Structure 1
Amino acid sequence: MTMREWRLPAALILLGLVPMIAGAARLTELGTGPEVTPANARFVADPLPVVLHIVGAVVYTILGAFQFVPSLRRHRWHRRAGRVLVPCGLTVAFSGLWMAVAYDLPAHDNDVLAGLRLLFGSAMAASIVLGLAAVLRRDIAAHRGWMARGYAIGLGAGTQAFTHAPYLLATGEQPDGNLRAGLVAAGWLINLAVAEWYLRRPSRTPLAGPARRPRAGAR
């Protein structure tokens, strides 16, 4: 890859760094037999969905970032990586839905946020399935679009760290209720908007060769 091609995957991985660090801390906590608190009780009582979610999300975030590199999309690596990314992405989506249904609501959440998690988790799973169906029928443009949208939703936790930051800095407290639901939704919507811009922007790929001038006298 050229240095220019490195920029996008590096930016995507950096965006996912905060949730990846938080996820690693959660796994470490669960692996050390933690004291049960209101903040971790649901994870200690039923750790499987959160473990699947964190592990799947780390692989999906890092490996998925490199699927946006044009030079790699022209090699077999893209297809091989996709065979890992599809199950990882579905694991992230379905484990997120599992947690939304099975876990009690945390103190700062409400039913609106629970509904949004079900909505966007379902949208992520649907995007990945539609992307897989598109590539199987050789519709590469549709495949690229649906996979980009699924990745954008999957990377929502990274953007949500930034949508929450101004409130945290101003008040020193976590937002709650409908405000928190709005800030979480904003993270997903911002990512989807950027994904749509990325998909619709004019291509900068150079033409295969210079245009030929017509010969003198040609009509």
Structure 2
Amino acid sequence: MRRSEWALFGLIFVYSFIPAFGGLIRVLELAGGPQIAPANPRALLAPTPIVLHIFSSFLFCIVGALQFLPSIRRQRPAAHRKVGRVIAIAGCVSALSGLWMTHFYVFPNALQGAPLYWVRLFLGTAMLGLIMWAVIAIRTRKIFRHSASMFRAYAIGQGASTQTVLGIAWIITVGSEAMGPLRDGLMIFAWVLNLLVAEILIRSMQRPAKRPHKAGLPGT
């Protein structure tokens, strides 16, 4: 794997680890460890969905980054297929557990208003559908549709990373955490940014590769 690809993977790893670190702290607390993060009564009442969501999202975002590296796809296609199956399952578990928590956990309005609730339901369902469509596409040898669907699903799955970055930037700029409708807006905006980047990358995949111009022979 080239240095540029290692650099890209390292960047995605760090980017994904920011929210994952908080999730792993929560898992340790639920396992009986010391309480570091603020208490979460929802996690205490129903810990299984949040544990599944944390581990499946971490696997989908971290290991899933390897799937987009060109050298892995070209030089190790068998490994790409095997890891892809694991990633598809992890992504589905992440989406389903996220949908469950969105609908069945009771959130205060300061943490989730109606707009964020409906966007979470829509994007969770879309992520699940995109992964399923990607699996169907690769089985019918529709490579581009497979890659495009996984790019979009990955953009949705990486929402927590962008939300964390935006949230930290807001606290540094304003001095307090965004709450209520403002928080809903920042959370939704993070998904919009991710999907916009995904569409730019997908469009770049559609562009034909530039071939070097061959000079013609004299008189041609």
| TM-score (norm: length of structure 2) | 0.88
Residue of structure 1 equivalent to 2:160: 157
1:191 matched to 2:182? The reply is: no
- Among candidates 116, 121, 131, match of residue 118 of structure 1: 121
For the Cα contact (< 8 Å) 2:111–2:184, is it kept in 1? no
How far apart are 1:159 and its partner, in Å?
Answer: 0.5
Offset, 1:40:
1.1
Q: Report deviation, 1:53.
A: 0.2
Change in Cα spacing, 1:159 to 1:87, as seen in structure 2 (3 Å) is same
1:6 is displaced (CA, Å) by: 1.6
Distance 1:41-1:33 versus aligned 2 partners, 3 A rule = farther
The CA deviation string for residues 86-111 of structure 1, in whole angstroms up to 9 with x for no partner, is 00000000100000011001443212
Q: Is this contact kept in 2: 1:9–1:68, CA < 8 A?
A: no
Residue 107 of structure 2 corresponds to 105
Give the aligned partner of residue 63 of structure 2: 63
- Once residues 7 and 20 of structure 1 are traced to their aligned partners in structure 2, the CA distance between those partners, rounded to angstroms, is 20
Aligned to 1:82: 84
Query: Root-mean-square deviation (CA), in Å?
Result: 2.4
Query: What is the CA-CA distance between 1:33 and the residue it aligns to?
Result: 6.7
1:126 Cα deviation from its structure 2 partner: 1.3
- Whether the 8 Å CA contact 2:73–2:80 is kept in 1: the answer is yes
Q: Amino acid of the residue matched to residue 84 of structure 1?
A: V
Query: Residue type matched to 1:189 in 2?
Result: V
Tell me if structure 2 keeps the 8 A contact 1:156–1:191.
Answer: yes
Q: How many residues align?
A: 215
SS, match of residue 106 in structure 2: coil
Structure 1 match to 2:146: 143
The one-letter amino acid of 1:85's match is I
Q: Distance in 2 between matches of 1:110 and 1:167?
A: 19
- Structure 1 residue 26 displacement after superposition: 0.6
After superposition, residues 165-184 of structure 1 pair within 5 angstroms as 165-184=168-187
Distance change in 2, residues 1:165/1:34 (3 Å): closer
Partners of 1:168 and 1:175 within 8 A in 2 = yes
SS at match of 1:16: helix
Q: Contact (CA 8 Å) 1:108, 1:174: kept in 2 or not?
A: no
**TM-fit CA distance, 1:62:** 1.1
The one-letter code sitting in structure 2 at the alignment partner of 1:57 is S
Q: Distance in 2 between matches of 1:166 and 1:216?
A: 61
Tell me the TM-score normalized by structure 1.
Answer: 0.89
Render the CA deviation track for 1:3-58: whole Å, top value 9, x for unaligned: 012222222212111111011101011001778x9841111110110010001011
Question: Partner of 2:48 in structure 1?
Answer: 48
CA distance in 2, matches of 1:116, 1:50: 19
The aligned amino acid for 2:92 is: L
